[in-house]
Structure formats: structure tokens, C-alpha cells
Amino acid sequence: MFTHVGIVFRDLKSSGEFYRKVLEPIGIRIFEDHTQPDGTGWLVFGSEGSSNFFVVAAGRPSFWSASSAPATSPVHIAFQAPSRDAVDRFHSVGLECGAINNGSPGVRRGGSYAAFLIDLDGNNIEAGYRTDEGVPK
């Protein structure tokens, strides 16, 4: 299990607003805003009671080489959703915010109910819901 995931984006303002809106339906909200006057900085997202968190940053982190850039190699991040309805809202809000559909809400391999979006920087993000019994109702 991870403790946190961080992704660097070209524009912290637009990506931050995108993730605020898209993650809200699945119970993830912004906890910290470290935006600097020049537009660089980072935002920390998480859910109540979880020690795992997601960081959205802009500007090249000090531990990246000079040749590194946002979305040079897109990533896939899957967020756990609390319900099928939350997955549906994640997907619809994402489309309204400029994401590209990469898989409409539906039952997937393994019995999860999930939806996929391509974010503003080309990353594949997913929200999924699964019950202990398998395919969610």
C-alpha cells in the first residue's frame, strides 16, 4: 500500500480546480494548499480517516532531473469510491471539467464498477466501487 502519490502538472490552478471537482463525489477533498505567488507549489488531497493522500504539484520538484516534465509518461491512478453513484458523478463531473472519457461507468473485470477519465495532462484516472461480495448492485 502506498502512503502518498504525487503528480506534477503544467498548470496548478487548472489542474487543482479539476481535481477539486472530480474527487469531491468520491469523498476526497483538498486538505492543504501550498500555491505560491508564481503559480508553482502543491495541493494535498485526501479523505477523512485515511493516512493515504494524493499530491497535485506544479513546477519541477527538486528530486526530478532537468529533463523531467509533466505527463512525459502518463500515469494511471485508481481511486476507491464509496458507491456506484459516486463513480457516476466522478465521471460526469470530470467530463464537465474537460476530461476525456476513457471508459464510461460500468461493471469491469473482477466485478468492480468503475469509470475512467483522461485528465488535463493526459493521465488516466479511475474511480471504482466494489463490495466484498463481488459485483456491486
| pLDDT exceeds 80 at position 94 | yes
pLDDT at residue 17 in the model: 94
pLDDT at residue 46 in the model: 87
Q: What is the DSSP letter of 82?
A: S
pLDDT at residue 117 in the model: 96
Q: At residue 11, what is the residue type?
A: D
Lowest-confidence pick of 46-55, 82-91, 96-105, 113-122: 46-55
- Exposed, middle or buried: residue 51 (CB in 10 Å: 0-12, 13-18, 19+)? exposed
Instruction: State whether residue 130 is helix, strand or coil.
Output: coil
Q: For the chain, count helices (H), then strands (E).
A: 2, 8
DSSP states along 18-73: HHHHHHGGGT-EEEEE---TTS-EEEEEE-TT-S-EEEEEES--TTS-TT--TTSS
Q: What percentage of the chain exceeds 90 in pLDDT?
A: 42
Cell of residue 11, nine digits: 498548470
d(CA 63, CA 110): 37
- Exposed, middle or buried: residue 76 (CB in 10 Å: 0-12, 13-18, 19+)? exposed
d(CA 46, CA 131): 21
Domains in the chain: ranges and CATH: 4-60+74-129 (3.10.180.10)
| pLDDT exceeds 60 at position 135 | no
What are the pLDDT digits (tens) for 25-47? Answer: 999 999 889 888 988 888 888 88
